Structure 1
Amino acid sequence: MSRYRNVALFLFLAAIWGSAFMAIKAGVEFIPPVLFAALRYDIAGVLMLGYAVVAVDDWYPTTRAGWTEVVIGGVFMIAAYHALLFVGETGPVSSAAAAVLVALSPVLTTAFARLLLPEEPVTATTWLGMGVALVGVAVLMNPDPERLLTDAVVSKSLVFGAAAAFALGSVLTRRVNGDLRIETMEAWSMLLGAGLMHAVSVAMPSESFAMIEWNATAILALAYLAVVASAVGFLVYFDLLDRLGPVEINMVSYVAPVFAALSGWLVLDEALTLYTVVGFLVIFAGFVVVKRRAVAREIGLLNTG
C-alpha cells in the first residue's frame, strides 16, 4: 500500500509541477513576468514559513552558515531561476519545451557538484553525460544557422539559464552545509527571493503594478502557482524526499514535461514538436549516463523490494 501511495504522490507532484509551466505561460500574458514571479513567492513564502513554524523546531536560521544557505537559495534557486524562467516564457517557447529545459537541472547539478565539491571528483563519464544532455538542448532549441538570435532561441536560452542557476544554487548550498531543515531553508529563501525579484521589477521600466491586467486567468494562474504548485507541491516533495530519496525524486523532472505538454495542449492549444520530444529523450539519456550508478542501485532495490 505504501508503494502505491508513493507512486500516486509522485505522479501528483509531477502533474502540478508540470502544469505550472502552463500556468506561467498563461499568467505572463497579463502580469509582468518578474513581478509575477515575485508575487507568487510573496504568497508561497508566507505559507511555507507558516508550515515551518508548525512542523519544525528550528524554523529560522541561527548561524552564519544557515543564513548563507538561505541567501544562496534566495538568490539562485528562487530569484535568478524564476526571473529567468518567467521572462523566458513570455517568448515563443512552449510549456513542454520549458519543462524539458528545466529537466536539465539534475544533470547540471551533478556537473557543478563535480567541479565545486571536493568529495565528488570530475570523471570522464560526467563530461560524457553533460555532452549528451547539451546535444539534447541544441536539438530542442533548433537554431537557424543564419539567424541564431531569434526570439525562440533567446527565450529558450533564458530558460536554460534558469535551469543552470537552480543547479548552481543547489550545489552551493551543499558546499555551505548550513545544517538547516529543508522546510526552513525553502521558506526563508522564498521570502528573500521574492524581495529580490520585487527590487528587480521596480528597476525595470517595462514592469509596474499598474501594468497588471487583473482578470480570471491572471488570478487563477497566480493562485495555482503560489498555493498548489509551490506550497502544496513542496509539502508533497518533503514527504517523498524522506520516503524515496534524492535520486528517485529527481525523476519528477523527467515526468513533469509530459504533464506540461498535456496541460499546454489542453489549455493553451500548444502543439508538441518533434524537436521537443527528441531533445527530451537525449537530455534524459544524458541524465542516465551521469547518474548511472544511482539509477542502477535504485533499479536493484525495486527488483528486490
Structure 2
Amino acid sequence: MPSQPLSLRDGLLALAVMAVWGTNFVVIRFGLDDLPPLLFAALRFTLALLPAVFFLKRPPVPWVNLAAYGLLIGAGQFGLLYIAMRADITPGLASLVVQLQVFFTIGLAASLTGERVRPFQVAALLLAVAGIGVILAHTDAATTQLGLGLVLLAALCWAGGNIVARSTPGVNMLAYVVWGSLFSAPPLYALSLAFEGWPAIRDGLVHADVATWSAVLYQAAANTLFGYAVWGWLLSRYPAATIAPMSLLVPVFGMGASALWLQEPLQGWKLGAAALVMTGLCLNVLWPRFAAVRGARTPPAA
C-alpha cells in the first residue's frame, strides 16, 4: 500500500478513536464506584457481544484462536486492569503503563516466532523501563506496587492477545473482537462469583445508576464497537506506518482526562516518567519510518 497522508476527515476520525480510547480510563474509574471490577468487565464484554454477534459473521478462524484471544483480552487484560484501577492505580498512570504492551508484544514475538529484536527497540525499551522505575520509586496510596504490577500483567496479557490476533491476518477485526467476547464474558462472570461473591454482585447491580450503566455501555459501544470499526477501516485505507503513530495519543488523552475530570495531580516525577515512557514508545514506532526516509534520501555510493 503506497504511503499517503491522512485526509482531514480521516485524521479527525483517528483522533476521535484516540480520544475515546484515552478517556476510557476515566470512564472505567466511574464505573468502578458501584460495580465490582470483574463484574464490570463481564458486563462490558456482554454488551460488546450482544447484539452485535447476530449481525457480524464469525471470522474464518479456528474456535481455539477466538477462545485464546477472548481469555487473554477479557479475563487477562481487562480483568486485571479493572482490579488494579479499583483502588491501586490512578487512571492517568494506568493509561500510560498499559502501553508497555508494545514491548511485551515485541518480546513474545521474538521468543515465539523468532522475530529479531532490533537495537532501536532495545533502546526504546530501556527508556520505557526507566519511566516505570520512576513510577515505582514514587508509589503511594494512590498508585501502589500491587497496582503497578497488575497493570503490567494486564499489558502482558494484551501482548499475548496481540500475538494470537497476528496469527490470523486479514480478518475483520471488529468481528474478531465481538466473537472473541464470547470467551471473555463467561469466565469473567465465573471469576466474579468466585472471588467477589454473590452479595457484592447483587449490591453492585442494585446500586448501579444511570451513570454506571452509561460507563458500561461506553465500554462496549464507544471503546469496542466504534473504536475497532473505525480503526480497522483506517488500516484498510492507509499503511500501518501512517495510522499506528496515532496510538501514541492514547496516554496523552488518558492522563489529560484524568487530570481534568478526576483532578489527578500531575507532579514533576509523573510527567518525567510519562516523558520517558512516551519517548520509548515514539522511538519504537517512528524510528523505522525515519530510517526508511533517511535511506531513501542517501545517494548510492559511487
1:86 Cα shift? 0.4
User: Structure 2: which 5+ runs fail to align?
Assistant: 298-302
Pair 206,151 (structure 1): closer, same or farther in 2 beyond 3 Å = farther
Q: CA-to-partner distance for each residue in 1:134-190, whole Å, 9 max, x for gaps? A: 11112223346xx9x99622112211111111012211332x437643233211112
Correspondence 1:96 to 2:92: yes
Q: Which of 194, 198, 207 does residue 203 from structure 1 map onto?
A: 194
Partner in structure 2 of residue 16 of structure 1: 20
The answer as to whether partners of 1:66 and 1:180 remain within 8 angstroms in 2 is no
Amino acid at match of 2:232: F
Deviating more after overlay: 220-229 vs 283-292: 283-292
1:35-114 alignment, distance < 5 Å: 35-52=39-56, 59-61=57-59, 66-114=62-110
Pair 223,177 (structure 1): closer, same or farther in 2 beyond 3 Å = closer
Determine helix, strand or coil for the equivalent of 2:35.
coil
1:260 Cα shift? 1.7
CA distance in 2, matches of 1:33, 1:159: 14
1:219-238 alignment, distance < 5 Å: 219-238=213-232
Partner in structure 2 of residue 164 of structure 1: 156
Amino acid at match of 1:77: I
1:99 Cα shift? 0.5
Determine helix, strand or coil for the equivalent of 1:270.
coil
1:1-305 alignment, distance < 5 Å: 3-52=7-56, 59-61=57-59, 66-118=62-114, 120-143=115-138, 152-174=144-166, 176-177=167-168, 180-206=171-197, 208-212=200-204, 213-296=207-290
CA distance in 1, matches of 2:239, 2:280: 20
CA distance in 2, matches of 1:296, 1:50: 44
| CA-based RMSD | 2.7
The answer as to whether partners of 1:41 and 1:193 remain within 8 angstroms in 2 is yes
Between the two proteins, the alignment pairs up a number of residues equal to: 288
The answer as to whether partners of 2:248 and 2:282 remain within 8 angstroms in 1 is no
Q: CA-to-partner distance for each residue in 1:3-28, whole Å, 9 max, x for gaps? A: 11121011101111111100111111
1:258 Cα shift? 2.0
Deviating more after overlay: 155-164 vs 235-244: 235-244
Determine helix, strand or coil for the equivalent of 2:144.
helix
Partner in structure 2 of residue 56 of structure 1: none
The answer as to whether partners of 1:140 and 1:278 remain within 8 angstroms in 2 is no
Deviating more after overlay: 203-212 vs 74-83: 203-212
CA distance in 1, matches of 2:73, 2:196: 25
CA distance in 1, matches of 2:230, 2:293: 23
Deviating more after overlay: 157-166 vs 249-258: 249-258
CA distance in 1, matches of 2:291, 2:227: 27
1:111 Cα shift? 2.2
Determine helix, strand or coil for the equivalent of 2:217.
helix
The answer as to whether partners of 2:174 and 2:225 remain within 8 angstroms in 1 is no
TM-score of the aligned structures, taking structure 2 as reference length: 0.84
Q: CA-to-partner distance for each residue in 1:228-284, whole Å, 9 max, x for gaps? A: 222211211111221334344433442112222232233322222333322222122
1:35 Cα shift? 0.5
Amino acid at match of 2:92: A
CA distance in 1, matches of 2:217, 2:69: 23
The answer as to whether partners of 1:19 and 1:260 remain within 8 angstroms in 2 is yes
1:292 Cα shift? 5.0
